[in-house]
Amino acid sequence: MEASPILTWTLQQEIPVPSDVHELLLEGEQAITSFKTMRDSATFTSKRLIVRDAQGLTGKKVEIYSLPYSSINMWSSENAGRLDWNSEIELWTRAGHIKVKLSKDADVRRLDSLLAWAVLQAH
Q: What is the pLDDT of residue 4?
A: 74
Q: What is the pLDDT of residue 1?
A: 46
Torsion of CA 84, 89, 90, 95, to 10 degrees: -150
Q: What is the pLDDT of residue 51?
A: 94
Q: Which fold has domain 7-120?
A: PH-domain like (2.30.29)
Q: What is the pLDDT of residue 84?
A: 53
Domain locations in the chain as residue ranges = 7-120
Provide block-wise average pLDDT over 10 residues at a time, the chain (123 residues): 75 92 94 92 95 80 92 88 73 92 87 92 65
| pTM given for the model | 0.85
Quick check: 21 and 31 in contact, CB under 8 A?
yes
Quick check: 12 and 33 in contact, CB under 8 A?
no
Beta bridge partners of 52: 41, 64
Alpha-helix runs per DSSP H in the chain: 108-120
Q: What is the pLDDT of residue 114?
A: 92
